[in-house]
C-alpha cells in the first residue's frame, strides 16, 4: 500500500483511489503503416519492466479523473516523483 500525491488535487491520497495506466513515455508512432511487423509488435507489447525506478501513468479515478505521470520504485514502491503528462521526470535529487 502506498499513497500518491495527485498533482491536480494536490492531496496525498490512498493508492485505491487511483488506477494504474501502464508505462509512460511510449509515444504512438506517427506513421504506423511505415513500420515493420517487428517494430509495431514492439510498440504494442514490449515494455521496460524495470526492477527499480519506473516511469508510469496513473489516473485519479475516484478524484479528478485526470492522468499524470509517476516515477516509482518497483521494488520499494517508494514514489520518487509525480509530474504532469508531457513533462519529463525531474532529476532524482530534486524529486526528493
Partner 1 sequence: MVKYASISETRCAGSNPGRMERYSLLSLVRHARRYHENWQRAWRDPAPKKAYDIVIVGGGGHGLATAYYLAKVHGVTDVAVVEKGWLGGGNTGRNTTIVRSNYLRDESSHLYEFSLKLWEGLSQELNFNVMFSPRGVLYLGHNLHDMREIERRVNANRLNGIDAELLSTADVQKLVPLMSCSPNARYPVLGASLQRRGGIARHDAVAWGFARAADAQGVDILQRTEVTGVRCDNGAVAGVETSRGFIGARKVACVTAGNSGVLAAMAGLKLPIESRPLQALVSEPLKPCLDVVVQSSGVHCYVSQADKGDLVIGAGTDSYNGYGQRGSFSVIEHTLQAICELFPAFSRVRMNRHWGGIVDICPDACPIIGETPVRGLYFNCGWGTGGFKATPGSGYVFAETLAYERPHPLAAPFSLDRFATGALVDEHGAAGVAH
Interface positions with partner 1 (CB under 8 A)? 1, 15-16, 19-20, 23, 37-38, 40-42, 44-51, 54, 56, 72, 74-77
Question: Which lies closer to partner 1 via its Cβ, residue 49 or residue 94?
Answer: 49
Interatomic CA distance for residues 81 and 70, integer angstroms: 6
Helix (H, G, I), strand (E, B) or coil at 32: helix
Question: Which lies closer to partner 1 via its Cβ, residue 10 or residue 45?
Answer: 45
In the complex, minimum distance from the CB of residue 40 to partner 1, in angstroms, rounded to a whole number: 8
Strand order in the sheet with 79-83: 19-23, 53-59, 67-73, 79-83
C-alpha cell at 27: 509515444
- The β-bridge partners of 71 are 55, 81
C-alpha cell at 68: 499524470
In the complex, minimum distance from the CB of residue 8 to partner 1, in angstroms, rounded to a whole number: 19
In the complex, minimum distance from the CB of residue 1 to partner 1, in angstroms, rounded to a whole number: 6
Question: Which lies closer to partner 1 via its Cβ, residue 11 or residue 16?
Answer: 16
Amino acid at each position: 500500500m502506498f499513497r500518491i500525491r495527485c498533482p491536480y488535487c494536490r492531496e496525498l491520497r490512498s493508492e485505491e483511489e487511483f488506477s494504474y495506466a501502464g508505462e509512460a513515455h511510449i509515444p504512438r508512432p506517427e506513421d504506423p503503416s511505415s513500420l515493420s511487423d517487428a517494430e509495431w509488435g514492439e510498440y504494442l507489447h514490449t515494455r521496460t519492466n524495470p526492477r527499480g525506478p519506473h516511469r508510469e501513468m496513473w489516473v485519479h479515478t475516484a478524484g479528478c479523473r485526470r492522468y499524470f505521470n509517476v516515477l516509482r520504485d518497483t521494488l520499494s514502491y517508494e514514489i520518487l516523483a509525480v509530474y504532469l503528462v508531457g513533462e519529463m521526470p525531474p532529476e532524482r535529487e530534486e524529486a526528493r
